[in-house]
Structure 1
């Protein structure tokens, strides 16, 4: 038994440090089985190899746990809170919910990692006061030291084999700020200035043409058109009334970048599910759902949003 049952309304968010498959299972299988025994809804969203390991170890309770491949569901860290964590927790309001979420693994790229770190920090804001435990495993043998240091800043608790303790370095706001990083747009990027809604159709056509030129499939080119539309509309409404759209290739990804003069003050924008009765306000949510990665850099001088789509997907 790793942790006591949290009191009602007490959000629990530990970093789970493990150094082997055995430690992984010793830390997480009791967490899952205790939850099932207590009638807590339980989900696990972890990378594919960890998913197979966990499934095999859960035995007769496997069918009572929602198991998700984080490499699929959470490829874009910006979709994890609304489409994985909140979706499961909101479905079981009124009960304490247990979730294992492993969004950071050794295969994550340097471009993805800042979005991952911000995601881990923002979980605390998104679930403050909720009756939920979200345990986040970290492989201490495979991840860089700075990743583990960041984990201590984004999680108020740490679980290790045989003990759990408070983190002395908990500072999630500092992590959100530290990874609010700019990305250079390629010098070869095609660009288009958009000044009014009358230019919206041209912006969609521009993005689609560039996407097809760079090798996007027809379906993903259609997704790119939707992403571009929502980013441009958001900029025209909230970003100073004009924007610049750029499309370029970064390795295996097409990147659609929209730059405007606005400031994105809400760090959970695009990560907070919209109530069914709400009109509008779903554009950034949809962008996070469609893109393989979203990186945002925002300051009082302007905001730049980069949406990545794998060209070979």
Structure 2
């Protein structure tokens, strides 16, 4: 498996899924990929969950100092943050050079609420890196992940690697995956609603009060205020001229969403890194940076952004 994992680093952009069983197969599929990049003087980053990060760090030994290592449970707890804040943040600092990244955004502890955002992220990688000389290897634990998750991985990755070798995916269809997980977001009973508003101050104040009642810390309350302001501002400016704000939560979690009647046209909205001299267009990027999870639905009845915050 090590030879096949290393072989997929050819071409302008390569996005293989690595299906592994246990630590031995994980290391066989990832360590030669890292060492191959280092031997070729290519920048290498690894963003995987903490246990696998520790496993790789031990196996790489002194070479770990030459690799950008990130715990994906922190850096990528919101999947909408991974492209701009992890993948592009690393690749864009090495312009004109081939880059290798191991990114593991899906693991067994991901919740059912998080998963649609995770699989959409995997599909959007293909759009975000088209034409780039970048290889992003995505490990999937076949012993702990559901068969449906593995099937989705085959649809979001053009190349598949497992114990039998390397092969092209016969069901690769990332656009269809993005559409399939573009799901309407039901609103729970008891949610507070501020309908069709342009009043940023009122939305911010109400969100602060409701989030405080859910037990969020002072720092998280400040984040909630920023996110509600940015989402409603986006609806006013780019949606239908106003937005409906909905707020709910409990037990240390708070959720806010903003719905408008506009239709989102850019599937990478909120995932484009901002340039230092960019005066506008940072709002949705900031939302992804601050929230613990962002879900999105856009359809004929409009667009909804939903942001989750944990205490």
**Does residue 1:258 correspond to 2:258, yes or no?**
yes
Mapping 1:1-313, distance limit 5 Å: 1-2=3-4, 3-4=6-7, 6=9, 10-196=12-198, 199-249=199-249, 252-311=252-311
Tell me how far 1:301 sits from its aligned partner.
1.8
Residue 193 of structure 1: SS of its match in structure 2? strand
- Separation (CA, whole Å) in 2 of partners of 1:185 and 1:212: 20
Asked if the contact 2:43/2:94 (under 8 Å) is kept, the reply is: yes
Asked if the contact 1:194/1:203 (under 8 Å) is kept, the reply is: no
- Separation (CA, whole Å) in 2 of partners of 1:253 and 1:131: 40
- Separation (CA, whole Å) in 2 of partners of 1:51 and 1:92: 23
Residue 289 of structure 1: SS of its match in structure 2? helix
Asked if the contact 1:156/1:170 (under 8 Å) is kept, the reply is: yes
Long gaps (5+) in structure 1: none
Asked if the contact 2:215/2:252 (under 8 Å) is kept, the reply is: no
- Separation (CA, whole Å) in 2 of partners of 1:132 and 1:55: 22
Residue 58 of structure 1: SS of its match in structure 2? helix
Asked if the contact 1:26/1:161 (under 8 Å) is kept, the reply is: no
Answer with 158-167 or 116-125: which moved more: 158-167
TM-score normalized by the length of structure 2: 0.96
Asked if the contact 1:13/1:133 (under 8 Å) is kept, the reply is: yes
Q: Deviations over 1:129-164 (max 9, x none)?
A: 001000000000100000000000000001113511
Query: Between Structure 1 and Structure 2, how many residues are aligned?
Result: 308
TM-score normalized by the length of structure 1: 0.96
Q: Please report the RMSD computed on the Cα atoms of aligned residues, expressed in angstroms.
A: 1.3
Tell me how far 1:253 sits from its aligned partner.
2.1
